[in-house]
Chains A and B, each alone.
Chain A
């Protein structure tokens, strides 16, 4: 893992923790992010962690870019020594896989896909040697995912599954991006999952849809009243496969203000996780059941 610094014009510094994605690079990005926050460096206006990198925006009238760079390099040294543990939360997200809305959309854009004869799930299951749609759902929802970045558009989480690299689901983006994606589509591109927070263009494979809004600029939805975006980097997501009846029921409950996401506070330790990933994940997911 090699850290690389670059100026993004006169107002940004970009820190690439690693060129490739890994949990280690993600952890480094998160720990540097929280160290920069704590350091309260004058002139800093935005601190943005990404999957394997972070970016700082600052006012060069308040701090010289070269001084900002020095501060960050000093923080990196300290962050390298930091313990790989953090307090976070696990959130259960219900998903209707193979739903009618993403299905209608993926059929509409079939000529932009690598394999026009399969659906996105069928294609992704095949190239990842999974046992059809059911095998795919098992792999996708069987282990939790880290929110490794929030962005692209408002509140959209990028997700990285907490499994060995060889078990990670990989899928290319569409050959040409779609001009439409249903709101709350559960998607996947490269090794990253995502939830489209708003309707719009997109290039990720589409696997399903969640009935649970994750962004509400009007802050009318009960669990988004305190803040309009649900996710923050470092959150852990557990997908829960649901059927159409539960989907409809949940949509209605959200509308009536009777739905609250299932979530629990957890402490994550990278070292403990590495020792036995499956057992550690089972423990994390158990927290959702009060265990």
Chain B
């Protein structure tokens, strides 16, 4: 079965749970930025949690279906319409052969996940169907969707209509968004006062916010602990000898605007990092729009692991509710 792309949306890509194992040669994980929403969309339509879906940013695509399928839209509140008729989000619905799926304007969040029963069936590259646009790898021809694309969809069991997830099991960032961070890496490069200021400030998501990373602005510049630059690092106080960047790591070039790396991360570079957003909160970043307020909240490893457990129990509740 094929789905025809009438309008591609702003930046719609094929994503699954990602491509581990190649970060050491600069190929990042990729995959959905809000993995909980991605898994939920798949469960609603009867797919495996790891099936490939469409990730639509800020604006939905317009898709004409070549055959009947069950569809679910999760993540951002991007209300779907079938031949113009409104359908609920976080709920499975049918799209018949020849019908068109379109979307209203974004109401909340940033990234919607559109699962189609059978899963998007682009070729598997290095173990994943996810799109890594910077490397023109995976997904649909290594790029975001364009009008006229014919998207292959696999065969598979289609769940019935009307399966839904209660609102309390849908996870969204608050306002300001609270991103929990474990300090570390090169945290010692900034003064104690600067560290306290970093957590006290309310930041705003900058317009440069994409799958590679999210930039934040509006906090006070950080004061560095003075040093002799180590050989090979570079003269700026925020420079380090180029090193690998963890997913979720928070680098602050020049000490001014923090950047949190995400699923299409550059794998390394020469800027110091003050810590790492914990795994449980990475999904939330994918739902942040530019100009939204956000705070970094200091946590310990014990708190990070507890938060991870809570997130696992949330996906377990979603599984059992269906």
Contacts and interface: CB of A to CB of B under 8 A. Distances in A.
A51 B23 contact: no
B246 A14 contact: yes
Contact of B268 (A18, A149, A215): A149
Contacts of A52: 232, 241, 243
A46 interface: yes
B269 interface: yes
A240 interface: no
Contacts of A247: none
Contacts of B21: 45-46
Contacts of A173: 234, 270
Interface stretch (A1-9, A95-103, A122-130, A278-286): A1-9
29 contacts: A7-B182, A7-B184, A7-B276, A8-B185, A9-B275, A9-B304, A10-B308, A20-B230, A20-B233, A21-B233, A22-B231, A48-B23, A49-B244, A50-B243, A51-B232, A52-B243, A53-B243, A57-B20, A150-B25, A152-B268, A154-B25, A155-B135, A158-B268, A172-B234, A173-B234, A192-B232, A198-B134, A198-B136, A215-B135
Interface in B194-242: 230-235, 239-242
Interface residues of B, dominant DSSP: mixed
A189 B269 CA distance: 11
Interface residues of A, number: 56
A146 to B, nearest CB: 13
A215 B25 CA distance: 10
A66 B249 CA distance: 19
Interface of A: 6-12, 14, 16, 18-22, 45-55, 57, 60-61, 65-66, 149-156, 158, 165, 172-173, 189-192, 197-198, 200, 215, 217, 228-229, 231-233
B137 interface: yes
A14 B243 contact: yes
Contacts of A172: 234-235
A12 B230 contact: no
A61 B306 CA distance: 11
A9 B182 contact: yes
A198 B264 CA distance: 15
Contacts of A6: 184-185
A239 to B, nearest CB: 20
